Amino acid sequence: MAAEECVFCKIVRGEIASERVYQDERVVVVRDINPKAPVHLLLLPVVHFTTPADIIGLLEPAVGHLFTVAAEVAQREGVAESGYRLVVNAGPDSGQEIGHLHMHLMGGRRLGTMG
């Protein structure tokens, strides 16, 4: 999908409303519109990639930065101690709905085992 049409690119550009909890030059973090946990954030790289396969060897630092920011926003949201789950969906079998690489951060309740 072209970046012009991508929902997450539109969120990053401020063309679609979202609740931003963090941003820097590489990542924007928003609350998921359909939360699956009391804390459900989406970490959106500013640059558009479709899946992790697109960034292998190319922008590993950008993906590493997602983990750094995840730890920061987990602290801010009060789930750093209780624990949280980071999820990256890739492709049809994962249920990835939006073709802009992103990381979910979910916490605030006991999460079920991964299925």
Residue ranges in contact with ligand AMP by CB under 6 A: 7, 16, 18, 30, 32-34, 42, 89, 95-98
Taking the complex as a whole, the smallest distance from the CB of residue 34 to ligand AMP amounts, in Å, to: 4
Of 42 and 69, CB closest to ligand AMP: 42
Nearer to ligand AMP, 16 or 71 (CB): 16
Nearer to ligand AMP, 80 or 98 (CB): 98
The two structure tokens encoding residue 77:
């949201």
Intra-chain end-to-end CA distance of the chain, in Å: 28
CA distance 1 to 49: 10
Distance CA 18, CA 39 (A): 15
Phi-psi label, residue 97: left if phi above 0, alpha if psi -120 to 50, beta otherwise: alpha
Q: Which residues are catalytic?
A: 102
**Rounded distance, CA 109 to CA 55, Å?**
32
**Least separation in angstroms between CB 100 and ligand AMP:** 8
CB of 32 to ligand AMP, least distance (A): 5
